[in-house]
Amino acid sequence: MEIDLIVGSMMGAAEYVADELEQELIDSHQVTQHLDADLEELPTDGSHIWLICTSTHGAGDYPDNIEPFIEQLKAQRPNLSRLKYGVIALGSSQYDTFCQAGRNIDQLLGELGANRIGERLEIDAQIQPVPEDSAIEWLPNWRQQLEAQ
């Protein structure tokens, strides 16, 4: 299976999580990481799985590098009914808008008809100083659900 790892990161934590996920997944999947995701380059026909890995910045905002992709989704509103995806959201519970970017993209993809595999992972920097540990712990179950499809 081909997995597009779509990353939203301001200061590198989500990017580091994505690097670790890629290392875990490459033994059985073809993984491509996208730091500047472009909807035009991402198949939405179900041949690729999207794994979103994004932090939240500002007051519940998307990181700058993923914002253009979000705008493309909102403007073009593609039919994503054949797409399967997962979401890993990084944030901090010191903000009222905890993990809002991850929650928002999850909702947006759902509205566009995409099918989420497994539960969304929310990583709280207040509790988990090493976010990649949470992601690596979450991954086997997600992977199992993906591979059972």
Residues that bind ligand FMN (CB under 6 A): 9-15, 55-60, 63, 90-92, 95, 97-100, 125
13: number of Cβ within 10 Å: 17
| Cβ closest to ligand FMN, residue 59 vs residue 75 | 59
Q: Which is nearer to ligand FMN, 55 or 104 (CB)?
A: 55
Minimum distance from CB of 119 to ligand FMN (Å)? 17
Chain position whose Cβ is nearest to ligand FMN = 91
At closest approach, how far in Å is the CB of 1 from ligand FMN?
Answer: 25
Question: What's the Rg (C-alpha) of the chain?
Answer: 14
The residue (of 4 and 122) whose beta carbon lies closer to ligand FMN is 122
Question: What φ, ψ does residue 27 adopt, rounded to 5°?
Answer: -70, -30
Q: Closest approach of Cβ 94 to ligand FMN, in Å? A: 8
- 83 contacts: CB under 8 Å, gap ≥ 6: 44, 46, 49, 50, 109, 113, 114, 115
Question: For ligand FMN, which is the closer residue by CB, 9 or 146?
Answer: 9
Residues 108, 109, 111: CA angle, nearest 5 degrees: 65
Neighbours of 46 (CB within 10 A): 14
The one-letter code for the residue type at 36 is: D
- The minimum distance between CB 127 and ligand FMN, in angstroms, equals 12
